[in-house]
Structure 1
Amino acid sequence: MNQEIQEVECTGRDFSMLLSSTPRGARLARLLTVNALRNWGIPDEAASHVVAELAANAATHGRLPGRSFRLTLHVVGDTLRIEVTDTRGDRMPAPQVPDAAGESGRGLLLVEALADRWGVVEGRFPHKTVWAELCYAPPEPESSRSGLGGG
């Protein structure tokens, strides 16, 4: 069995998967997000960056050996909710002003810039969930699109 993929749940426009808390698991979270959003017809560029940052944080700062993190995507109306749950509820994220010469520390600033809302929810010990919501314009139905001339 592939150790990167532990459990998959995908119904309608909801997606949930348990991934290993490794850099490979974080990359897989981004790739799976892009695939799901493209299948749903939802813009994926901003969401893929948000997932990349949240998953990388879960794999780096929220990691406990042998424990996985969960990526969950929910679409309600014109809002995509991204949730990343890890097992380090004792380490709550907060955006910080990064060291100008530093090579890290900008992830949550990027999430803050790309997401319409984001936050952290403490779960049943020892879990926490970092979530972000992105609003998008739903695609027009084929029947309501007009010709190029518009007139």
Structure 2
Amino acid sequence: MTVTTVDRPATAVYRLTAPAIVTTPRVAREAVVAWLRAAGHGDALREDARVLVSEVVTNAVVHTAAPRLTLEAEITDAGVRVRVWDGDQRGIPRPRQRCADDDEESGRGLRLVEALSHTWGVTWTGGVEPAGKRVWFELRAAPRGAGT
């Protein structure tokens, strides 16, 4: 794990590089929750981050051929921006055009990201080393004193 200061002293950037295996979503979501707790963010932001990290990391593990992924969380007093990079250059993740049926086990992840995040997207890193893509989202914190 690397911690760096970016632009403002109140910004901490945490990185976790992990194998793209079935246990990584749990490790990633617990790491982000711990980082947010250490930064003093409340339960609502931490819970939304837990759900969304789980979704984007699970997508990288299940839908790519990448052997590893890198999660980056940029935390400020205003909230968090999370990026998940994988080295798979195939396709851009998109929400399904139709809603998943009740009996389907997948197909809701990016809809959740769309619904819970302030903003989200995909950044294609193309031929730039390291090649691949980053799926990212931002969550904004409730103003201090507005509850936890």
Same fold (TM over 0.5): yes
What range is the shorter-chain TM-score in?
Answer: 0.7 to 0.9
Aligned to 2:78: 78
Please identify the structure whose Cα radius of gyration is greater. Answer: 1
Q: What are structure 2's unaligned runs of at least 5 residues?
A: 6-11
Task: Tell me, yes or no, if structure 1 residue 47 matches structure 2 residue 43.
Answer: no
Amino acid at match of 1:55: V
Please say if residues 41 and 139 of structure 1, whose CA atoms lie closer than 8 Å, have aligned partners that are also in contact: no
Give TM-score, length-normalised by structure 1: 0.80
Task: Return the match for 1:59 from 39, 58, 61.
Answer: 61
How far is 1:100 from its partner?
3.3
Instruction: Give the 5 Å matches for 1:102-141.
Output: 102-125=104-127, 126-140=131-145
Asked whether 1:9 is paired with 2:10, we answer: no
Deviation at 1:138, TM superposition (A): 4.6
Unaligned runs of 5+ in 1: 1-7, 141-151
Amino acid at match of 1:40: A
Shift of 1:72: 0.3
Q: Which amino acid aligns with 1:11?
A: T
Structure 1 letter corresponding to 2:120: W
Deviation larger for 88-97 or 102-111: 88-97
Provide the rounded CA distance (Å) in 1 between the counterparts of 2:88 and 2:111.
20
User: What residue identity is the alignment partner of 2:107?
Assistant: G
Q: Distance in 1 between matches of 2:70 and 2:143?
A: 26
Higher RCO (C-alpha under 8 Å, 6+ residues apart): 2
Matched residues, number: 131
- Mapped to 2, the partners of 1:101 and 1:137 lie a distance apart of 35
Residue identity over aligned pairs, in percent, reads 33
Deviations 1:94-123 (A, max 9, x none): 111223321111111111111010000001
User: Displacement, 1:77?
Assistant: 4.7
- Counterpart in the other structure of 2:30: 31
Instruction: State the superposition RMSD in angstroms.
Output: 1.6
Q: Taking structure 1 as reference, are residues 127 and 42 closer, same or farther at Cα in structure 2, changes over 3 Å only?
A: same
Secondary structure in 1 matching 2:23? helix
Residues in 2 aligned to 1:54 and 1:10: alpha-carbon distance in whole angstroms? 22
